[in-house]
Amino acid sequence: MITPTIITATTTTIRAIATDMLDILSEPFFRRAVIAGLGVALVAGPIGCFIVWRRMAYFGETLAHAGLLGAGLGLLFNVDIAVGAVVVAMILALILIALRRQKQLAVDTILGILSHTALALGVVVIGLVTGAVTGHLDILFGDVLTVSTRDVWVVWGVASVSLLLLATLWRHMIAISVHEDLARAEGINVQRTELLFTLLIAFVVAMSMKIVGLLLITALTVMPAAAARRIASTPETMALLSSAIAAVAVIAGLFMSAAWGTVAGPSIVLSAGLLFVLTLPLGQRS
């Protein structure tokens, strides 16, 4: 039985939670975290779609691990760790593109070797340079609650440029995702498009380092896209939905972190995973 008392009590609780949320939103550090997180979510959406369509999840993972090695080398040579991450991720991307042409080893074996070598080497380098890896868990899992105003600007700057580049590659990337040989036979420069897209992933990986961390960035791209795939009927709606789901995951994760004191990056990824599970009963649209 729903009595007026219960309703009043429920309303009071909801109001209390809402007030808490508004309170935390008035905190500048939290607002910076939300804005930076939304910047990442916006780009993660469409990038994740291509990662899902082209079965590049492991590839993205490898670039993220290369980013860790880059961050380590950045610490070693006293260069900004984000710059180090971009450079090493790009170099690895070029190596992978070159290695894909050989037929001695399967691509996922090569990825398995390079990805974990980069991860191990990254951890070793960071440990050697700083004495303890544990002080740098933020590189692995993000530390979005400590982003500075400058970080926010960097995230949105990189996000804007990435989205512009993505817009110019869009039609070609869709054609390549549908059928690579067909796209090539119909005059699309597959190599150039793929190279640019790979470099884009490298940038997004470095940009997201502080937000969700290198170990989880692939998850934040793949999970929303996989969820959106079940609902969307065109590539464009899938990309938009994907960004929206990533944005909801960012906000939910940050509030979860604020409410229960959980680590922010993993909380965001957990929220994304939960959203994916929620789309399961919806069934595949096409």
Partner 1 sequence: MLKVNNALVTAHDVSLKAGGRLILDRVNLAVRPGEIVTIIGPNGAGKSTLVKVLLGLVPQTSGKVEKQAGLRIGYVPQRFPIAMNVPLSVRRLMTLTLAANDAEITKALDETGVAHLVDAWVADLSGGELQRVLLARALLRRPQLLVLDEPVQAVDFHGEVKLYELISAIRKAHGCGILMVSHDLHMVMAESDHVVCLNSHVCCEGGPTAVQKDPEFAKLFGPAAARMIAAYTHHHDHDHESHSHEGHDHAHDHHGHHHHHPGHRH
Which lies closer to partner 1 via its Cβ, residue 149 or residue 234? 234
Which lies closer to partner 1 via its Cβ, residue 54 or residue 79? 54
Distance (Å, whole) CA 85 – CA 82: 5
Specify whether the CB–CB gap between 183 and 175 falls below 8 A: yes
Task: Please state the closest distance from residue 211 (CB atom) to partner 1, in A.
Answer: 27
Which lies closer to partner 1 via its Cβ, residue 43 or residue 232? 232
Which lies closer to partner 1 via its Cβ, residue 145 or residue 188? 188
- 3-class secondary structure, 283: coil
Distance (Å, whole) CA 223 – CA 203: 19
How many residues are present in the chain? 286
Burial 159-197 (b: 16+ CB within 10 A, else e): beebbeebeebeebbbbbbeeeeebeeeebeeeebbebb
Task: Please state the closest distance from residue 286 (CB atom) to partner 1, in A.
Answer: 4
Which lies closer to partner 1 via its Cβ, residue 13 or residue 237? 237
Which lies closer to partner 1 via its Cβ, residue 173 or residue 217? 173
| AA letter at 212 | V
Distance (Å, whole) CA 159 – CA 41: 9
Distance (Å, whole) CA 89 – CA 87: 6
Task: Please state the closest distance from residue 232 (CB atom) to partner 1, in A.
Answer: 5
Which lies closer to partner 1 via its Cβ, residue 14 or residue 178? 178
For the residues of 238-256, what is the DSSP string, one character each? HHHHHHHHHHHHHHHHHHH
Task: Please state the closest distance from residue 46 (CB atom) to partner 1, in A.
Answer: 12
Distance (Å, whole) CA 25 – CA 199: 35
Radius of gyration for the chain, computed over Cα atoms and rounded to the nearest angstrom: 20
Task: Please state the closest distance from residue 102 (CB atom) to partner 1, in A.
Answer: 9
Q: What secondary structure letter does DSSP report for 104?
A: S
Give the residues lining the site for partner 1 (CB under 8 A).
52-53, 103, 171, 174-175, 177-179, 181-188, 229, 232-235, 237-238, 284-286
Task: Please state the closest distance from residue 273 (CB atom) to partner 1, in A.
Answer: 18
Which lies closer to partner 1 via its Cβ, residue 95 or residue 231? 231
Task: Please state the closest distance from residue 227 (CB atom) to partner 1, in A.
Answer: 13
For the residues of 104-173, what is the DSSP string, one character each? SS-HHHHHHHHHHHHHHHHHHHHHHHHS-GGGGHHHHH--GGG--HHHHHHHHHHHHHHHHHHHHHHHHH
Task: Please state the closest distance from residue 178 (CB atom) to partner 1, in A.
Answer: 5
Neighbouring CB atoms inside 10 A of 274's CB total 16
